[in-house]
Amino acid sequence: MQVETQTVDRTVVSEPATALAVAHSRPLFSLIVPAYNEGRRLGQSLQAMLVYFDEAGYPYEILVVDDGSTDNTPTLIAAATAAHPAVQALVYHPNRGKGYAVRAGMLAARGEYLMFTDADLSIPIGITADFLAALQGGYDITIASRWHPDSSNIVPPPLPRRVMGAIFRWCVRRLVISDVRDTQCGCKAYRADVARRIFGQSRIDRFSFDAEVIFLAARAGYRIKEVPFALRYTPGRSVRPVRDSLCMLRDLARIRVNATRGL
């Protein structure tokens, strides 16, 4: 690997992947947005994404994956798909986890380059241009990296989240992979063939899926580019520090066990 400074169960998807294969040319870029109870901010974020890609001028799609939301997220997604032909949706129940949602989107997306980002847009959507340039320049995967020397925290996360992140990062570097500075940042992009290969092999459904995907990418020898950005933390994320930290550590162990067992 070079780093630089379970197949989706279609029976739970309410709109099958074939519904996405509309009679249009293949998009250059697919943006996957996992969403779980994001009713307070999804509408504004989708509008910002649409403005950005419409101005970019190349064919694109935005695939919103509703991960079993119980608020008004499905209503917002339905309104967006009705209003703009570039917005597509995958909707299923019950909640399966962010890793499952991203995997579902990656395996359903049609673009030549596939990216996912969090619904809060704490990472500016403008990073897409840097990702696309790196992927078209020969890299296989691009990662928004909080630990890149040129990154900055305009609005940093609260102290408990920073402590949680530091501990998890320490564990990732010792248990899974040491060459990538930021496996967990919620914004990454892939060549389509790379995404389908590694997400097709992935098994982790919740927050540690990022570390698993990078682990699989490292074993396959893919070229990874870490990209700096200015972080604007947005409160209101559905993370439970103690419970989720324990689950994430358990999943790190699962990654090693699965690799040993050839799963």
The 10s digit of each residue's pLDDT in 166-191 is 777 777 776 676 677 777 788 999 99
Mutual orientation of helices 241-260 and 209-220 as an angle, nearest 10°?
30
Integer Cα distance of 260 and 263 in angstroms:
8
Into how many domains does the chain fold?
A: 1
pLDDT, position 24: 52
Which pLDDT tens digits describe the chain residue by residue (263 residues)?
555 543 333 333 434 333 343 435 789 999 999 999 999 999 999 999 999 999 999 999 999 999 999 999 999 999 999 999 999 999 999 999 999 999 999 999 999 999 999 999 989 999 999 999 999 999 999 999 886 778 776 666 777 777 777 777 777 776 676 677 777 788 999 999 999 999 999 999 987 899 899 889 988 999 999 998 887 777 665 566 667 767 777 887 788 788 788 77
Burial category of 150 from C-beta neighbours within 10 Å (exposed 0-12, middle 13-18, buried 19 and up): exposed
| Residue 262 CA from chain centroid, whole number | 25
Two tokens, residue 135:
């992927």
Q: Give residue 100's domain range.
A: 2-260
Integer Cα distance of 176 and 148 in angstroms:
19
pLDDT, position 177: 67
CATH number of the domain within which 66 lies: 3.90.550.10
pTM of the model: 0.81
Contact (Cβ atoms closer than 8 angstroms) between residue 208 and residue 245: no
Question: Over the stretch 144-166, which tens digit does the pLDDT of each residue have?
Answer: 988 677 877 666 677 777 777 77
Two tokens, residue 21:
């294969």
